[in-house]
Chains A and B, each alone.
Chain A
Amino acid sequence: MSCSGGCHLMCSPVKILNMYGRKACQLVKEFASGEKGQLTPFNNDLFEQVVSECSQHHLELQSLIRKMQEEGLDVQTARNADHYGALIHLFSIVRNKRCLTAYVYNRAETVRNLLWKIGPVLPKEIEEKLNHWEEEYFKKHSAALKSYMSKALVDLTVDMVPPKDPYIQVRVLEDIREGIVLSDDKNPNFARHSMHFLKRTDAEKYISRGLMEELTG
């Protein structure tokens, strides 16, 4: 049934209406192209372009509606060409909005996961990929988790893998000088290649940041 109706129009050229929403989709594609759980740098430029495209649609929508009003039509019920034109602009705004929010939403999820996977201190190469408000979000999320954990008296970020022995053997992969906090208040020298026997819960955060590796066997 859907194919009928086109036959007598065979000679008319095919029009292409595919620019609307295209940039927004590019933004979403960019997110999708990264590996799962990985971040690409926040594309501020494209993001802003989509936002201004929305404003443009809004202007055109308004002008079509104004035109209908000037012609004395009831905007609520009139179904003329201007109405359908306005609809197309409206749906384009809705579509762009969905793409923009999906981009922000899915990135936010990845940003939250960073806290669980790497901890509250992000390596520079990851931090660079975040937009400034994502950085802010990450900090606030860290603070919220920290305060919750201190009230609940439990560290939720350790023992994600069922624990075995309380102590494990590790090798330091990169010199660690700053911010060493161990539960026994000792201050060992974590020089590169040195080996240590540490409390598992102390070692976990260094391992997941790639600063130490677990030795087995």
Chain B
Amino acid sequence: MASYYDIDDILVEEEIVSVIFQKAASGVGIDPSSETDFIEAGSKVELPFWLAHELQLRQAVSVNVPPCFNQKTRLEIQADCACVDLRSRCPYFYEFGCKIAPIVGDRTIGFLLLSAFKNRYKEVLTKAHTATIAVGSKFWTILTKEEINLYETAQSAMASFKKWRMGGARFQIASILGRKRKPTE
């Protein structure tokens, strides 16, 4: 369970989902173009996950399966897992999947996440230990947040080992100050 203060967890919950209101709700600010502040029962509404989740718990809405987990995406993922651009579908593909699966009661989402992760993580592993990927390279742009974290974890462990092997200064400027301060002439 993620912590209350977990930044990534907060951002995951900002993902937009589409719901059907089972109950009416009044006095809420719908998009500015709307003339009314009333949502009738049966309306289709897009709202952030955190709100959808709470309303769903109280049976006020039913949540639709988000597009990044629909059949079309699934087929694409299964066809060429390692190269699918998951980030553009949802930067928090795995975390969001974990949250949405119990809500929409779709058992197959778990399998989808697992098989996608299983197929993709090897690539992350090999790349992390051997090559440095330039930020912005193609491989980099298709990774989800979790995959990037994993890549960076592996990369920095390897980098700190290499740094130790090279030897040199043991004490360095605090990383927060960066590599600035070439004395200004």
Residues of A within 8 A of B (CB): 1-3, 5-6, 9, 12, 14-21, 25, 28-29, 31-32, 37-39, 60, 63-64, 79-82, 84-89, 91-92, 95, 98-99, 101-102, 105-106, 113-114, 117-118, 123, 126, 161, 164, 168, 173-174, 192, 200, 203-204, 207-210, 213-217
Contact A164 B18 (CB under 8 A): no
Contact A87 B62 (CB under 8 A): no
Contact B64 A16 (CB under 8 A): no
CB distance from A125 to the nearest CB of B (A): 9
In the complex, whether B117 has a CB less than 8 A from a CB of chain A is no
CB distance from B33 to the nearest CB of A (A): 9
Residues of B within 8 A of A (CB): 4-8, 10-11, 14, 16, 18, 20, 23-32, 34, 38-39, 42-48, 50-51, 54-55, 58, 60, 62-65, 104-106, 167-177, 180-181, 183
| Chain B residues, CB < 8 A from A210 | 173-174, 177, 180-181
Residue in chain B with minimal CB distance to A19: B29
Contact B44 A98 (CB under 8 A): no
Contact A14 B11 (CB under 8 A): no
A9 and B39 CA atoms in complex are apart in Å by 14
Contact B4 A81 (CB under 8 A): no
CB distance from A134 to the nearest CB of B (A): 14
Residue in chain A with minimal CB distance to B24: A81
Contact A208 B170 (CB under 8 A): no
Contact A38 B46 (CB under 8 A): no
CB distance from B177 to the nearest CB of A (A): 5
A63 and B29 CA atoms in complex are apart in Å by 14
Q: Given A12, A17, A168, A209, which contacts B46 in the complex, CB threshold below 8 Å?
A: A17
